[in-house]
Amino acid sequence: MCGRFAITLPTDAMAQLFDAQPENNLPDVPNFNVCPTNFIHVITSDELGRKIERFRWGFVPKWYQELNAGPLLINARSETISQKPAFSNACRKRRCLIPCAGFYEWNKNLEGNKIPWFVQRNDKTPLVLGGVWQEWGDENNQIKTCAIVTTASNGRLSEVHHRLPLVLERSNWGFWLGEGGHGASILMRPTPNETLMAYKVSRDINSNRSAGPNLMSPI
C-alpha cells in the first residue's frame, strides 16, 4: 500500500515536467510528510489539455453523505479496481497522475517494532504514481478526491511490503490519462526491480506531525 509520501518538486518545475497548466490554489511545497486527507498535487487531462489540480487524498464515493461516512479509501487495488463499485467508473474515465519524491513504507523487525523505509526511484527523478479520482459534494461545495492505485510488490521490495503503488514511466503518462485511447489496464503491473530503491529512515515519520527534509534522510 501507500500511506504516506513526500513531495519536493516546485510547482513551476512540475508544470514544465508534465506540460500542464497549474491551478492557483495548489498546496505548498515541499511537504516531506504527506498524509491521508491532505491536499495534494494531481495531474489530470481533458480536451483542453493537462492541468495540475488540488485534490484531497482519500477517494470519496458519490454515495457518501459525509466525507467521513465510510472507510478512508487512500488506495485502490489493481486486481479488483474494475469490480469495486467505488472505483469501477473512475478506473475507466477518471485516471490521474500523482507526483512525489518517494513514499514511506513500514515493516517489522524481529522484535515486532515497526521500521520505516523511504522508497524512491533509483535515478532520483520524480516518482509518478497512477491514481483515480472522484468529484464529491453538491454544486455549492464540491471537492475532488483521489486514491493511489496499488499492485503486488516486486521481488526486491517484497521484504519491505507486499504491496506497491503503481509507478508510471514517462512514456505511459498520456496513456494512463486517457490521451491514447482505451486499454490502460495493461499498465497496472508491478514495477520492475531495477526501478526503485529503499532505505531505512528515522522513526520521526511515525508521527503525522513531523516535518522537514530529515524525514527522507537515510539512517
Q: How far is CA 101 from CA 126, 145, 153, 179, 212, in A?
A: 5, 21, 19, 25, 14
Beta carbons within 10 angstroms of residue 192's beta carbon: 12
Q: Domains in the chain: how many in total?
A: 1
pLDDT per residue over 4-62, tens digit each? Answer: 999 999 999 999 999 999 999 999 999 999 999 999 999 999 999 999 999 999 999 99
Whole domain around residue 169: which residue ranges?
5-216
Is there a contact between 193 and 175 (Cβ–Cβ < 8 Å)?
Answer: no
pTM over the 0.85 mark: yes
45 contacts: CB under 8 Å, gap ≥ 6: 51, 174, 177, 178, 179
Spatial separation of the C-alpha atoms in residues 160 and 11, rounded to whole Å: 31
Strands (DSSP E) contained in 5-64 are 5-7, 21-22, 31-34, 39-46, 49-57
pLDDT per residue over 166-197, tens digit each? Answer: 999 999 999 999 998 888 999 999 999 999 99
Spatial separation of the C-alpha atoms in residues 87 and 134, rounded to whole Å: 9
Q: Strand, helix or coil at 129?
A: strand
Spatial separation of the C-alpha atoms in residues 111 and 132, rounded to whole Å: 37
What is the side-by-side order of every strand in the sheet holding 102-108?
31-34, 5-7, 102-108, 114-121, 196-200
Q: Which has the closest alpha carbon to 146: 38, 45, 69?
A: 38
Q: What pLDDT score does 122 carry? A: 96
CATH number at residue 82: 3.90.1680.10
Beta carbons within 10 angstroms of residue 80's beta carbon: 10
Helix (H) or strand (E) holding 94: none
